[in-house]
């Protein structure tokens, strides 16, 4: 006669369950480490092994279509903390926490562990967050959303992200805003980013930012393209940081000025169209305006990494052509309307020794005009 099934588990099954769960609670969104006290942080096993189909036929989820001989198999077991184990078993009818849902959570958790541990160690990337106020809109970057966007190509090198933002009530129409933000960004970069660049070889960063365009360009110029980095874009439709695998090819259009004898201006009309008259209202008529645009400028056109690569290539050639045509001029004025990722990449492709100094302008809603913000390069 077959032996009666008991609650006592085979040690090999218990060990494999621990390994598959990576010693963390498999309840959806809990993920609590089960190898130490959450209060004192002392080492210790605080895990509990729960049955998906209940061990008792009259338990919260019953036996369902399972047989008693299968109750202690790995596929029917979850590693949980005490609180989550209690939570699912208090659902006496198994309606809120059904066996189907618990098995899905178990599978998702163990698949995530397999992905993380299966990635090549060279795919470590430091998550870098940078946020600054845009008018009356506050920056709200969340580390967990950023980390999710990395998979499966990269995974976080550290538990905590590198945050270059600062908390203050500065508004971009105040005279001290740009100087304060520029100083903070430069100092934070030296304090938090440079040590990783010096210590790690190779070093890679995943950049998530939400800030006025001039500051994003400055961030990119500090990173340079000599440092491995992937810049991410927050998409509106659908709302996600993930790059889409497929997106239509973009055709960037470059329009050169009729004459290059005047100081150069770069009109970047990608997320919105900037009329040259608005530039003339700030700088006067004696300027040579170069324009980069797409067929239908709008604020959610950038969808894939391939599109961003194309933008980098076009922009680098354009900057090179402006340098060639305007060697005698002192600087290049830039009037941007472009996505976050394009702004950062504009700074990254900058060549300090070859490019003219840049003066970045920004549209200010309260003044209803473009204002001079930052200068990058030169003395």
d(CA 155, CA 115): 9
Residue 1: per-residue pLDDT: 33
Which helix (H) or strand (E) covers residue 209, if one does?
strand 204-210
- DSSP states of 269-289 as a string? ESSS---HHHHHHHH-S--EE
Three-class SS state of 316: helix
Query: What angle in degrees, to the nearest 10, is found between the helix axes of 213-223 and 175-188?
Result: 20
Three-class SS state of 229: strand
d(CA 74, CA 34): 18
Q: Are strands 332-337 and 358-364 parallel, antiparallel or unpaired?
A: parallel
d(CA 36, CA 43): 4
Residue 271: per-residue pLDDT: 95
Contact 165, 141 (CB under 8 A): yes
- Which one, of 310, 273, 269, lies nearest residue 293 by Cα? 269
Residue 136: per-residue pLDDT: 47
C-alpha distances out from residue 175 to 7, 178, 213, 280, 377, Å: 70, 7, 17, 23, 21
- Please give the model's pTM, rounded to 2 decimal places: 0.69
d(CA 170, CA 163): 18
| Upper half-sphere CA count for residue 339 (Cβ side, 13 Å) | 23
Three-class SS state of 127: strand
Q: What is the mean pLDDT of each run of 10 residues along the chain (379 residues)?
A: 59 93 94 90 92 86 76 92 95 91 94 76 85 57 79 80 76 81 94 86 87 96 92 86 86 96 97 96 97 93 94 97 95 97 97 95 90 90
Nearby residues of 220 by Cβ (< 8 Å), 6 or more positions away: 231, 343, 344, 345, 346, 347, 348, 349, 350
């Amino acid at each position: 006669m077959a032996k009666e099934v008991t609650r006592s588990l085979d040690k090999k099954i218990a060990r494999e369950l621990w390994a598959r769960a990576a010693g963390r609670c498999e309840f959806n969104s809990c993920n609590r480490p089960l190898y130490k006290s959450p209060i004192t942080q002392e080492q210790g096993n605080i895990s509990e092994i729960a049955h998906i189909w209940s061990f008792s036929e009259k338990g919260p989820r019953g036996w369902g279509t399972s047989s008693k001989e299968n109750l202690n198999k790995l596929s029917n077991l979850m590693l949980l903390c005490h609180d989550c184990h209690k939570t699912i078993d208090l659902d006496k009818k198994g309606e809120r926490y059904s066996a189907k849902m618990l098995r899905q959570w178990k599978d998702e958790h163990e698949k995530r562990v397999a992905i993380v541990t299966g990635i090549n160690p060279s795919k470590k990337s430091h998550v870098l967050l940078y946020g600054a106020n845009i008018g009356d809109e506050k920056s709200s970057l969340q580390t967990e959303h950023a980390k999710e966007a990395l998979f499966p190509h990269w995974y976080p090198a550290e538990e905590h992200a590198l945050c270059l933002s600062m908390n203050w009530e500065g508004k971009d129409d105040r005279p001290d805003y740009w100087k304060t933000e520029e100083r903070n960004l430069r100092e934070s970069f030296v304090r938090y980013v440079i040590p990783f660049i010096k210590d790690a070889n190779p070093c890679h960063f995943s950049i998530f930012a939400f800030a006025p365009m001039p500051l994003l360009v400055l961030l990119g110029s500090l990173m340079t393209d000599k440092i491995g980095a992937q810049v991410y874009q927050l998409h509106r439709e659908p709302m996600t940081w993930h790059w889409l695998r497929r997106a239509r090819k973009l055709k960037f259009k470059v329009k050169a000025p009729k004459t290059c004898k005047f100081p150069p201006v770069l009109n970047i009309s990608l997320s919105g169209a900037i009329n040259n008259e608005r530039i003339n209202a700030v700088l006067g008529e004696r300027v040579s305006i170069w324009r980069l645009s797409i067929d239908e400028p709008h604020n959610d056109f950038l969808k894939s990494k391939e599109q961003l690569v194309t933008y980098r290539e076009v922009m680098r050639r354009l900057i090179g052509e402006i340098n060639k045509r305007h060697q005698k001029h002192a600087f290049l004025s830039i009037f941007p309307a472009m996505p976050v990722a394009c702004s950062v990449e504009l700074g990254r492709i900058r060549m300090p020794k070859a490019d003219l100094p840049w003066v970045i302008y920004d549209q200010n809603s309260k003044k209803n005009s473009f204002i001079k913000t930052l200068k990058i390069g030169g003395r």
